[in-house]
Amino acid sequence: MTTDLISLFDCDETRLRALLSDALQGADDGELFVEHAQAESLTFDNGRLKGGSFNTDQGFGLRSVAGEAVGFAHAGELSEAALSRASDAVKAVTRGYSGSYAAAPQRTNKKLYGDENPIGSPTFEEKVSLLSEIDAYLRGKDPKVRQVTASIAASWQVVDILRADGHRVQDIRPMTRLNISVVVGDGDRQESGSFGTGGRIGFGDFVLNGNWHTGADEALRQALVNLDAIDAPAGTMDVVLGNGWPGVMLHEAVGHGLEGDFNRKKTSAFAGLLGEMVAAPGVTVVDDGTIESRRGSLTIDDEGTPSAYNVLIENGRLVNYMQDRQNARLMGLKPTGNGRRQGYAHVPMPRMTNTYMLSGDKTPEEIIASVKKGVYAVSFGGGQVDITSGKFVFGCTEAYLIENGKIGPAIKGAMLIGNGPDAMKRVSMVGNDTKLDTGIGNCGKGGQWVPVGVGQPHLRMDQVTVGGTKA
């Protein structure tokens, strides 16, 4: 499979550039986005292979931007005829319009991940054998284990972007992921635990070398903790958030509200607040697409802009939004390398990459010891967020009571309820142990899904509403 996708058209690059120039005549922005993608997944459940899939997709998306209007067409056929038809369609937005195209900086990041396609190694048989081994390992660890589900997934995406300014950029993006879920039971009661890991890497580091044992043990540990958990109390109390994956709450309740399109349209709780204090002093939040091999990282975004380390909230003050090219231009700001799309059949929009809070100066032990009565939330499951108001509800998959500065019994059914901007002002202690998640994040927006990373240090948040199950 060639990675020079432009060469797969039935015409040469000179002709393609001429077609693109004609399609984007008078536009403010636009590009030809060409993609080849492969994906494979296998799921092992209840002692046998339950599901498997492989798909490959290839095509182009042609976009023309005129002010707030966007003309977009896509096709799964790499031909001059298909591109000509797409050109006729997208030119509709520039009729009677005279735009001014701002050329992007001609710079690139260092490459953040390798080119190797992870789907072919290990082999199908080796992957099935691995999943079977994980199943047998966990069933042999504890007689309380009632169900084991393990899945492995890999993808390989090649993108070739030809922009209106004539600049051409390419990127090859591998991705792997391993997920393990365990259900344990005692009598009529059953509880679950899970662990996932992955990134823009091959399978060698966390699968072939046997490092999956750590993840399997963690999934079982969480399930057994939940099996002994008591009902969560309800009320307003101090909450300590663990580091790493609990940053998903920051991602949902704050991160989406800092994306440029929501703020340009004034539908975000953070709209119009640049330069204002939107969080407690000591809170600094960044979106960083430049971390090597991370799940949310990109050498270039899907408009061809190099990804970047973007400070969003600095010491409590809102200093920047995440931007694609269109929203940045309309807001009089600079693109930040956050123009992302699910694939060639989708338009780019401002999206997060790896979004996390920087470390403070408190140890986790200090933070926990400071709470007389509260909840220690170690891990989260699903949540719901309203971008306009900032209101959120998040369920804890592992949590404990804190009593007189000490971690008490595990609790089940705890829900954290609040408002993103308000919650950020309730942060009273920031830990010195920022950690990113293990590489499992997926983010949905506008019907599109993209891989992301989240993270944070331990945090204390004062007087948060906790929904519980205790009668």
Please say if the pLDDT value at position 320 is more than 60.
yes
Least reliable range by pLDDT among 11-25, 305-319, 375-389 = 375-389
pLDDT band at 471 (very low <50, low <70, confident <90, very high): low
CA nearest neighbour of 457 among 250, 267, 183, 219 = 250
Bigger pLDDT: 172 or 210? 172
Instruction: Reply yes or no on whether the pLDDT at 54 is more than 60.
Output: yes
List, for residues 195-206, the tens digit of each pLDDT value. Answer: 999 999 988 766
Backbone angles phi, psi at 300, to 5 degrees: -130, 155
Task: Tell me what pLDDT residue 107 has.
Answer: 60
Q: Kindly report, residue by residue over 69-128, the tens digit of the pLDDT.
A: 999 999 999 999 999 999 999 999 998 888 877 666 556 678 999 999 999 888 899 899
Any idea of the CA torsion for 345, 351, 352, 353, to the nearest 10 degrees?
Answer: 40
DSSP, collapsed to helix, strand or coil, labels residue 97 as: coil
**Confidence category of residue 327, pLDDT binned at 50, 70, 90:** very high
Q: Which residues contact 41 (CB under 8 A, 6 or more apart)?
A: 51, 52, 53, 151, 152, 153, 154
For residue 470, the model assigns a pLDDT of 76
Retrieve residue 284's tokens: 């600094």
> If 0-12 CB within 10 Å is exposed, 13-18 middle and 19+ buried, where does residue 389 land?
middle
Confidence category of residue 389, pLDDT binned at 50, 70, 90: confident
pLDDT value of residue 110: 85
Q: What is the rounded distance in angstroms from the CA atom of residue 122 to the CA atom of residue 208?
A: 8
Q: Nearest 5°: phi and psi at 26?
A: 85, 0
Residue 208's pLDDT band (boundaries 50, 70, 90)? low
For residues 385 and 393, give the distance between their C-alpha atoms in angstroms, rounded to a whole number: 7
pLDDT of residue 171 exceeding 80, the answer is: yes
- Quick: pLDDT tens for 31-47: 999 999 999 999 999 88
Answer yes or no: is pLDDT of 209 > 90. Answer: no
The Cα 15–Cα 438 span in angstroms is 45
pLDDT at 240: 98
Q: Which two tokens stand for residue 450?
A: 């993209």
Longest dimension (CA), the chain: 73
The model carries a pTM of: 0.95
At 223, list the tokens.
């399930």
- How is 206-261 classified by DSSP, letter by letter? IIITSTHHHHHHHHHHHHHHHHTPEEPP-EEEEEEEPSSTTHHHHIIIIIGGGBHH
Which residues, listed in sequence order, are joined to residue 403 by a DSSP beta bridge? 373, 406
Q: What is the mean pLDDT of the chain?
A: 94
230-275 pLDDT, tens digit each: 999 999 999 999 999 999 999 988 999 999 999 999 999 999 999 9
User: Which DSSP category does 205 fall into?
Assistant: I
Tell me the DSSP string of 269-300: TTTT-TTSB-S-TT--EEEES-STT-TT--SB
Contact assessment for residue 338 and residue 350, using Cβ atoms and an 8 Å cutoff: yes
pLDDT at 331: 96
Q: Which residues contact 221 (CB under 8 A, 6 or more apart)?
A: 193
Single out the residue of 115, 440, 62 nearest to residue 299, CA to CA. 115
% pLDDT > 70, the chain: 97
Which residue has tokens 């997934």?
153
Strand 406-412 versus strand 230-231 pairing type: parallel
